[in-house]
Amino acid sequence: MSTVSVSATVNGVQRTNEVEPRVLLVHYLRDMLRLTGTHVGCDTSNCGACTVILDGAAVKSCTVLAVQARNSEITTIEGLAAPGEPFSAVQQGFHQEHGLQCGYCTPGMIMACTALLAENPDPTEHEIRHALEGNLCRCTGYQMIVNSVRWAAEHPDGVVPARPDATTPVRSTLGAGS
């Protein structure tokens, strides 16, 4: 089968690869670029586990061909905070407000919420819930996820308010991985 050259900026790095025209963006990211934080949940665009930010908009990467992302800017969960760097405000919000359980949907939720806050830095609860309509979680009742986004909106720098008895939280791979 013939291949097509795809050049895109992924997490701030210019990438150029030869791909088959039928390769979905989610498979390009996971299989070719080894960015496994973007999860494949349903392959039908129902769950949102594969959500990434494409040219500033949250998209389900299982609905986009890699060739459609040519010359685009793509941000995955790995692009929000490099190892050793502080979490983004949304990642910190999920940590602070216990917005995850099993974690499978978490990268997609975080990416959808990151796009929301970039467009609307002070969303209402209704606006948060609307932004998350395309992302499913089987573990939670969504209230903790909504609280996580509210926390991020109230703390856009991601800094945890100091408490006299607080210790520095241990950095995990919140939202990244296979």
Q: Is the model more confident about 112 or about 102?
A: 112
Q: What is the mean pLDDT of the chain?
A: 89
pTM to 2 decimal places: 0.86
Q: Is the pLDDT of residue 90 over 90?
A: yes
Per-residue pLDDT of 119-141, as tens digits, reads 999 999 999 999 999 898 888 77
Residue 173 confidence (pLDDT)? 47
What domains does the chain contain, in order, with CATH numbers? 4-79 (3.10.20.30), 89-154 (1.10.150.120)
The answer to whether 136 and 47 have CB atoms below 8 angstroms apart is: yes
Q: Which residue pairs, CB below 8 angstroms and at least 24 apart, start in 40-49?
A: 41/104, 41/105, 41/108, 41/136, 45/134, 46/136, 47/105, 47/108, 47/135, 47/136, 48/105, 48/108, 48/109, 48/112, 48/134, 48/135, 48/136, 49/104, 49/105, 49/107, 49/108, 49/135
Residue 103 confidence (pLDDT)? 86
pLDDT (mean) for 17-29: 96
Of all residues in the chain, what percent carry a pLDDT higher than 70?
90
pLDDT (mean) for 93-118: 93
Q: Is the pLDDT of residue 177 over 60?
A: no
Residue 162 confidence (pLDDT)? 64
